[in-house]
Structure 1
Amino acid sequence: MVLEITSPILGFESLQSVTLEEIDSLFATLYATHERSLSFTVCNPFALLQEYAFDIPDRTKEQLGIQEGSPIRVVCIVVPRTPIEASTVNFLAPIVINTQTQRMAQVALDKLSYPHFDTQKPISDFI
């Protein structure tokens, strides 16, 4: 699925679209549409952290065309390391995807509002 980026991935502001490819039920990869060598491993945060929840800002809802009942998917960027247990997940900057409009945006959450989320949560905490 090709996704239009409406609010950039932090540090990759020039990236305008990505292709989402599933790896398995937990992981997927976002590839830069025009430069496949640039990619991000992402995961389903709800599979790792059952209490994971946040409010999607109104601006993001507008950018993505989110309305009541819109099909939404949320993923978080994983920083892969060797061994895999040393990999980390960024729960403070989730990527919100409207699968109907095929638009996505990264949302930078406020650490004070979400004190239990981290930018570098070890994946070993969940396996």
Structure 2
Amino acid sequence: MKFDISVPLLGFEDVKEVELEKIDDIFMKMQSTTEKHISFTLINPFILREYDFEVPTNISEIINATQESNLLILNIVLIQTPIEDSIVNFVGPLVFNTDNNKAAQIILSDSPVYAVAEKISSFLNK
């Protein structure tokens, strides 16, 4: 499924459109449609932990999200070996509006709960 990036990805401002591809029930791949060397592995954060934040009003307006919208929340993960050492960025969630194929990255800069680099292993067996 292709998505227009309505709010630039931090550090990848030139990426305007991406394609999401399911890897398994936990991971997805996000690939730039124009820059084949730019891709990210994403993870469903709700599988790992309780994860709650408000989508800022300005972002909701930009991606035309309402209370009824079908939003997909994913986080960038840096895959390591072993997989338990992989690092998840919980501070910069990606919000995909699957109703209109618009997406944005949110930065939770003042969150005392989430970090930019948390090991998956810290959420296993909890």
Residue correspondences, number:
124
Take 1:85 and 1:28, find their aligned partners in 2: how far apart are those partners? 17
| Counterpart in the other structure of 2:91 | 92
CA apart distance, 1:67: 1.2
| Counterpart in the other structure of 1:8 | 8
Take 2:38 and 2:56, find their aligned partners in 1: how far apart are those partners? 28
Take 2:86 and 2:117, find their aligned partners in 1: how far apart are those partners? 9
| Counterpart in the other structure of 2:121 | 124
**CA offsets per residue over residues 60-98 of structure 1, 9 Å max, x none?**
001100012111110000011222222100001100010
Take 2:119 and 2:9, find their aligned partners in 1: how far apart are those partners? 21
| Counterpart in the other structure of 1:63 | 62
Take 2:48 and 2:30, find their aligned partners in 1: how far apart are those partners? 19
Supply the AA of the counterpart residue of 1:29.
Answer: K
| Counterpart in the other structure of 1:47 | 47
Take 2:92 and 2:37, find their aligned partners in 1: how far apart are those partners? 22
| Counterpart in the other structure of 2:36 | 36
Query: Where do 5+ consecutive residues of structure 2 fail to align?
Result: none
TM-score by length of 2: 0.94
Identity %: 40
Whether 1:26 and 2:23 are equivalent positions in the alignment is no
What SS is found at the alignment partner of 1:73? strand
Take 2:105 and 2:23, find their aligned partners in 1: how far apart are those partners? 20
| Counterpart in the other structure of 1:17 | 17
TM-score by length of 1: 0.93
**CA offsets per residue over residues 3-22 of structure 1, 9 Å max, x none?**
00011111100110100000
